[in-house]
Copies of this chain bind each other. A is one copy, B any other.
C-alpha cells in the first residue's frame, strides 16, 4: 500500500511496517508546498493510527524525534505563510485600488489648484485649469514661448501676467510634470478597476458601472459583505451622515448614498430620484449576490431595471403638488 506523507512517499505493509521509502529533500519551502498539495488532494492518506514519526525515523528521513518535530514545526509555519500570502483576493485588490484612486484624486486636485494659483500670476488670462493647464505649462513654460498657431497666442502676447524668470519656469514645469504624472496615474488606476471589475463582478459592473460598483465594494469592505447587505442599505451606502441625522434629529431619510452618481438617478427629475434609487439598489443587491454566489452573467438585469424605471417614469410624470422642504432642515414630524 502506497501512502503520501509530508516528508516522502512510503510503501507500507499490512501491519504498518515500511517496505520501501522515497523521502523528499529537506527543503522547507518545498516540503511546505507538498504538504499543502497533499491537503488539497486527500489521496493516499495513511491508515488510521499509523505513526508518521516512527516511519520517518525508520526510513532515515530524520535521526531523532526532536529533529522530526522541529522540522514539522518549520514546515507547517511555512505552509501557513504560503496560505496567508494567497489571502489577497481580487476584491481586496479592487478595494486597494479604489482607496488609492481616492488619494490620487484628492492629491491631484490640491496640486492642480496650487498650480492654477501659482501660474495665475504669470498668465492670468489663460482660462485653463486642471490637466489642460498642466499640459500647457509642460509644453511651453513661460507664455512667451507659445507657438503663434496656438489659440491662446493673442491672449498670451497681451497678458497682464508677470514675466516668468528662468528659475521659476523650471520649477513650474517640474511641478506641472508631477501633476500630469498624477493625472496619468489616475487614468491607469481607473482602467485597472474597470478591467478588474469585469472579471470580479460582471453583473454589478453591468448594472452600476465599474467605478460605482468598485466604490460600493470598497465601502462594504468586500464583495461578500456587499452581497449580504439588504438593498435598503445599499441604497444609502455613503450617506451615513444624513442617515444618522435622520435617526437622531427626525431629518428626512436620505434617498441615496454613493449610488447618486449613477446616471439613472442624477439625470432624473428630483421627485423620481428616491423611487429610482430604491429600484436601482434592489437590482444592485441582486447583481452583487449573483456575482458572489454564482459567478454567471445575467444580461437581463439591466433590461429589467430599465423596465422598472420606465414604469416609475410613467407613474410620476409630474412633481407632487406640495413640494417637500429642503432636506437639510430637520423636520418636526417624522416621515412615514
Contact = CB atoms under 8 A, between A and B. Distances in A.
Interface in A172-212: 174-175, 177-178, 181-182, 184-185, 188-189, 192, 195-196
Contacts of A161: 85
Interface stretch (A65-73, A105-113, A317-325): A105-113
* Copies of this subunit: 2
A114 interface: yes
Contacts of A121: 88, 92, 96
B185 A175 contact: yes
Nearest to A173: B188
A122 interface: yes
Interface residues of A, number: 48
Interface of A: 29, 81, 84-88, 92-93, 96-97, 99-100, 103-104, 106-107, 110-111, 114, 117-118, 121-122, 158-163, 165, 167-168, 170-171, 174-175, 177-178, 181-182, 184-185, 188-189, 192, 195-196
A235 B101 CA distance: 41
A36 to B, nearest CB: 14
Contacts of A86: 162-163
B188 A182 contact: no
A167 B159 CA distance: 46
Q: What does DSSP make chain A's interface, helix, strand, loop or mixed?
A: helix
Contacts of A118: 96, 100
Nearest to A177: B181
24 contacts: A29-B158, A81-B158, A85-B161, A87-B162, A93-B165, A96-B117, A96-B121, A97-B171, A100-B114, A100-B118, A100-B175, A103-B111, A103-B114, A104-B111, A104-B178, A107-B111, A167-B195, A171-B188, A171-B189, A174-B184, A174-B185, A175-B185, A177-B181, A178-B182
